[in-house]
């Protein structure tokens, strides 16, 4: 009720300001509008007039006389009628505009005898060989279609317009994703073009049950967002929750999918990612088959998948592209690297500072000898090396690709060797930091790897203050935090807790495909059956004499 009252007062104030300035929204004077903020409400109440000159004058005023806002006026059929094509330069396919719109109307058009329907209906029926055509009734729809890359046709004497889909702006072709490279698997990745991304997804899920719901977010950017899910697999409550959260977003612009991710989070202050981010169409398709929901955003190749539990961030599509024994080994190695990247520097600091009795005597003597000339305690030494490693890593990412790799590798070698020779750090600390950094690269989720990089520093502080007791305290705090997290209302530790026996087949290990008969319990409660039973391969029966049957 309060929002409606505020909105009504806003409109009354605007109307009063226009009248006080001698401005109105009638067909006689529209030059003022290019100097004011144009809102959807203003354009929706300005209909398309039957007078073409009035419509052109209004559109020029609304566009602010921008040079890329093209209004091409021409005569239909050599003088039968007058029309105008409105489009943005660089946003439309010129060949399609000339061959399918201008040439048929200017040269080849001949009216019906006898006339059937309105003049606009006749043009739509026989003169426009374009597959997608929509009608416009007000200036908001005209501007909206033009900004999306369509060509709007206005005809003198008609109070409606035609929007012809003729987008022809340059887009990037599908390439292999930079952040999710695989040895075996698809080499296609999403692009910034939303229609291309939908096509890549349709090619992998050829079913009418793949539902794609479109909506527009951003008061200024008008970014198209598509919610995708498989009907019958995704829980209706999950789809409704995602749809409701997206509809609540009221922001001026959506420039990347992270805008949506931050506004959809259940726990905005948590460092852990609560949505899966991927550039791979095969990963999106696999998660949709498990009952998750995908959110595709215009102008970005990164697709959000919700819910994004901790276990899902540790899974890679390549796990299923190799033999399951190799998949088990890689999955276990990944979890071990996850623990190493979080705990190794902290454990080293705690043991060398407070618990030397836990180290074998020969190793302890070597550590003492290596740290004999180091002027800093172990915790300061670890913090300095970790910060230097993070600086080198970020420098390698921001610099040009060819230069960045050389800087990160040579810089690490030179700085590490120089620091050891100068006695600032010990050689063993360089090894610990290097192993920690390499282990963080094993995470298939870049967002999760960043979270671990952030948590590594408070864990080292606790280790420097309290030893292994501080490490245990920090781990307990992290586990309590993870147990309280939710992703779109579902538990963040789903698979671990609540406990479901079948889910453990795709948790720390990757069971053979013929054993994974059910989908995750938290995602698909009503339709958990993934495949038929009895799919385990077996050798053929042998004839008693030695031949095969």
pLDDT in tens, 464-476: 999 999 999 999 9
Q: What is the pLDDT of residues 272-313, one digit of tens each?
A: 999 999 999 999 999 999 999 999 999 999 999 999 999 999
Contact status, residue 143 vs residue 133, Cβ threshold 8 Å? no
HSE-up (13 A, CA, CB side) for residue 90: 5
pLDDT of amino acid 473: 95
CA dihedral for 144, 146, 147, 148, sign (positive or negative): positive
pLDDT at 361 over 80: yes
Q: What is the pLDDT of residues 195-252, one digit of tens each?
A: 999 999 999 999 999 999 999 999 888 899 999 999 989 989 999 999 999 999 999 9
pLDDT of amino acid 16: 39
- The angle formed by the CA atoms of residues 440, 444 and 445, to the nearest 5 degrees, is 85
pLDDT at 11 over 60: no
Distance CA 445, CA 313 (A): 6
Helix, strand or coil, per DSSP, at residue 189: coil
pLDDT of amino acid 376: 85
Burial of 77 (0-12, 13-18, 19+ CB in 10 A): middle
Distance CA 113, CA 299 (A): 47
pLDDT of amino acid 41: 60
Structure tokens at 217: 């977010």
Helices 378-398 + 401-421 axis angle, to 10: 160
pLDDT at 506 over 80: yes
Higher pLDDT, 258 or 411: 258
pLDDT of amino acid 476: 96
Q: What is the pLDDT of residues 65-116, one digit of tens each?
A: 788 899 999 998 877 889 999 999 888 888 888 888 888 888 877 776 655 6
Higher pLDDT, 225 or 369: 225
Secondary structure letter of residue 528 according to DSSP: -
pLDDT > 90: percent of the chain: 38
pLDDT at 12 over 50: no
- Strand boundaries in 400-531, DSSP class E: 486-487, 490-491
CA distances from 300 to 101, 160, 171, 295 (A): 31, 34, 11, 11
Strand pairing class (81-88; 69-76): antiparallel
Q: What is the pLDDT of residues 423-446, one digit of tens each?
A: 788 888 888 988 998 898 888 888
Span between the terminal Cα atoms of the chain, in Å: 79
Distance CA 449, CA 434 (A): 15
Higher pLDDT, 504 or 39: 504
Contact status, residue 416 vs residue 431, Cβ threshold 8 Å? no
Contact status, residue 135 vs residue 150, Cβ threshold 8 Å? no
Q: What is the pLDDT of residues 170-210, one digit of tens each?
A: 778 888 887 888 888 888 999 998 999 999 999 999 999 99
CB atoms within 10 A of CB 113: 6
Cα dihedral value 542, 545, 548, 549, nearest 10: -90
Distance CA 524, CA 232 (A): 9
Contact status, residue 541 vs residue 535, Cβ threshold 8 Å? no
- Using alpha carbons, select from 275, 365, 346, 280 the residue that is nearest to residue 313: 275
- The angle formed by the CA atoms of residues 97, 98 and 104, to the nearest 5 degrees, is 105
């Amino acid at each position: 009720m309060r929002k409606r009252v505020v909105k009504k007062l806003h409109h009354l104030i605007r109307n009063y300001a226009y009248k006080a300035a001698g401005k109105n929204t009638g067909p006689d004077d529209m030059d003022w509008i290019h100097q004011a903020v144009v809102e959807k409400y203003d354009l929706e109440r300005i209909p398309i007039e039957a007078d073409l000159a009035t419509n052109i004058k209004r559109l020029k005023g609304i566009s602010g006389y921008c040079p890329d806002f093209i209004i091409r006026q021409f005569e239909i059929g050599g003088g039968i009628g007058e029309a105008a094509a409105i489009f943005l330069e660089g946003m439309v396919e010129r060949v399609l505009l000339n061959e399918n719109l201008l040439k048929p109307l200017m040269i080849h058009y001949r009216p019906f005898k006898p006339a059937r329907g309105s003049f606009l209906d006749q043009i739509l029926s026989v003169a426009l060989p374009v597959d997608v055509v929509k009608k416009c009734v007000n200036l908001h729809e005209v501007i909206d279609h033009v900004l999306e890359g369509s060509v709007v046709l206005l005809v003198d004497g008609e109070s409606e317009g035609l929007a012809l889909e003729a987008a022809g702006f340059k887009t990037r072709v599908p390439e292999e994703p930079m952040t999710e490279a695989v040895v075996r698997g698809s080499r296609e990745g999403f692009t910034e073009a939303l229609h291309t991304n939908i096509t890549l997804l349709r090619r992998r899920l050829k079913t009418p049950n793949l539902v794609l719901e479109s909506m527009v977010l951003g008061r200024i950017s008008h970014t198209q967002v598509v919610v995708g899910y498989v009907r019958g697999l995704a829980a209706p409550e999950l789809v409704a929750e995602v749809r409701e959260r997206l509809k609540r977003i009221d922001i001026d612009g959506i420039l990347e999918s992270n805008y949506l991710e931050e506004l959809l989070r259940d726990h905005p202050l948590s460092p852990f990612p609560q949505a899966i981010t991927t550039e791979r169409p095969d990963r999106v398709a696999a998660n949709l088959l498990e009952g998750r929901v995908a959110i595709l955003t215009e102008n970005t190749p990164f697709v959000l998948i919700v819910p994004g539990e901790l276990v899902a961030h540790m899974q890679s599509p390549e796990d299923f592209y190799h033999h399951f024994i190799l998949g088990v080994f890689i999955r276990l190695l990944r979890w071990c690297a996850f623990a190493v990247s979080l705990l190794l520097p902290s454990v080293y600091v705690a043991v060398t500072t407070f618990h030397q009795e836990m180290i074998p005597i020969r190793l302890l003597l070597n550590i003492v000898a290596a740290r004999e000339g180091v002027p800093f305690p172990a915790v300061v030494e670890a913090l300095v090396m970790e910060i230097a490693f993070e600086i080198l890593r970020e420098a390698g990412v921001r610099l040009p690709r060819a230069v960045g790799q050389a800087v990160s590798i040579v810089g690490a070698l030179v700085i590490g060797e120089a620091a050891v020779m100068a006695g600032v750090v010990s050689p063993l600390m360089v090894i610990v930091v290097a192993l920690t950094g390499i282990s963080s690269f094993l995470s298939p989720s870049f967002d999760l790897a960043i979270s671990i990089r952030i948590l590594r520093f408070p864990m080292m502080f606790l280790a420097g203050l309290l030893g292994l007791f501080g490490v245990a305290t920090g781990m307990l705090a992290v586990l309590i935090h993870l147990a309280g997290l939710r992703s779109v209302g579902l538990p963040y530790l789903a698979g671990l807790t609540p406990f479901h026996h079948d889910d453990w087949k795709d948790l720390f290990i990757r069971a053979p495909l013929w054993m994974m008969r059910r989908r995750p319990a938290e995602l698909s409660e009503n339709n958990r059956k993934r495949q038929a039973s009895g799919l385990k391969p077996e050798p053929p029966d042998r004839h008693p004499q030695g031949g095969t049957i």
